[in-house]
Structure 1
Amino acid sequence: MSISGVSVAAEPAKLVHKGNANILIRFNDFTRLERCCVRFQSLNRNNIYTLENYQYLEREVTPLLGDYLVRTRKVARNVQLLDLLLEEFRVSRDCSEVFVLEMENLTFGMDSVLSVDHFTKIHKCSSSTAVVWEFKPKWWCETGHICRNCTLNNVKGRRIPYCYNMILAEPGLLRLWLAEYRLPSQFFTDMELYLRSSGNVLAKLYEIQAKLTHSVPKLGDLNGEVDVSETLALLMAMRDVSCFIKWDHENPIRAKIVDVDLKPKSKWAQWMSQQSVLDESNMKVSH
């Protein structure tokens, strides 16, 4: 990771994607994106969170994920370049600059996107066979135990036939899952080999989750912020990341992880409440 000072852009920021707590923006360079926090109504508070998150990535996350973690650079933008976006997301401009995290555009060169389900997208290029598979693996599940991902999908009425625990256990399912999206046959052949190899991005992420899971209390037992340890906060961050795997027939498979955020301890009540709903559900799924 590296740090830069105030950066000047020629044009206002353009919105590329919006999430619950962050937006992705772009300036003139299509190969780079910038991640801007809009979690809080105060720009100053969002800036503080961004700086804390930057240090968190460097201190806690990079040692775990290594080269899988997309590299970021801290940049300060003039607030005027983001005026319209900050207004749209109801962020008060109580600072003269906006701290963002600049990173590689992992779908650069792709010109179409197919939404497979709530957690999965396929990016394609009309001039080549290149594919970028974007997905949120969500929670690791121990074999034979209740699958939190599939149970939550049932509770929320999402009709998703597979989860990423199933794909890691049997990579051949990917061909069935994505059959209708007209992907090259070699994509499935190569991806199955990749997912069966040790150290693939999904196995790496779930391995980390498995180790952390055995060191934290059950979410249903939380009573307040005091119960949210650094280990639990890290685990919840790892349960909410996004993976991008790029494939083309001429180059090795390349995988990156993004959206690793420092989780506020104030979210404990939300975590506990949702876990209680799942515990009481009669739509549980196990693999």
Structure 2
Amino acid sequence: MKDGDNVSTVMQFVLLGFSDLPNLQGLLFGLFSIIYIIILIGNSLLIIITRLDPALQKPMYFFLANLSFLEIGYVSVTLPRILLNLWTQDRSISVLACAAQMCFFLLLAATECFLLTVMAYDRYVAICRPLHYPLVMRRNVCVRMAVGSWIGGIPVQIGQTCQIFSLRFCNSNQINHFFCDVRPILNLACGDTSVHEISVYAVAILFVAAPFVLILASYSKIISAILQLPAARGRAKAFSTCSSHLLVVLLFFGSAIITYIRPQTNHSAGIDKQLSLFCTIVTPIFSPVIYTLRNKDVIAALRKLILKK
């Protein structure tokens, strides 16, 4: 760091992560390694079976494959760095690497918000407009929706990352977090950051709150349509096709809303770390489990793949 005008220019940060648990570093490394392997295997299996099984060549499973690929990327932005820090006990990270990690994290988080919204729309059309479903959810339309989800957040999230890292940071360079997230970085900035705080809230509302409201609106229509079905068996089958997605939505958006939209006065470093850990690690590990255990088509495809092997 270079001194000048009583302010230091930070050249690198230190991710404190789990440094407050010195006796558990080895255990945490083993635990997170197992979690990472499970996430990679679980989501890779979902991608493989949705690509290979003829019964799963439907829009819902096309989006599920995109979501599984996203989860692999999402967790790979944070977990390898956590594992490296735990293994080497060297928690330093350059400003450029920190900015890159934040940028990719925000981009993938925005993509997940959009993909979950598109998947809710797919279920809405399938259940509420079944006769129009083949026309509305054509292959080229699904591809455009997926591409839009992947690239839709790029301008805003790159802009937000550049805005945050254009700030000057005060004497402390210690990030009380296990990866470079928005709020822990802002806490190190010099002077008044209220404008940047407002910007963070605005982006969170745009990419988290708005998609969540759209998903809730879709499911209100879906549930209403399901309840109007004459046969109980038909209602159970219709609900089973969207219950997995709804569970993942509640897990992901619930933790994201609490983390990024609750008032700044209610923030504490410990709670933020726990919520971020849940959002970045727990959701990706539960996502393939939920979709597999609650979907008969996926279970059947997985069984066929295992028997072939």
Do both share a fold (TM > 0.5)? no
Larger radius of gyration: 2
- Greater relative contact order (Cα < 8 A, sep 6+): 2
Query: TM-score with structure 2 length normalisation?
Result: 0.29
**Greater strand share, structure number:** 1
Query: TM-score with structure 1 length normalisation?
Result: 0.31
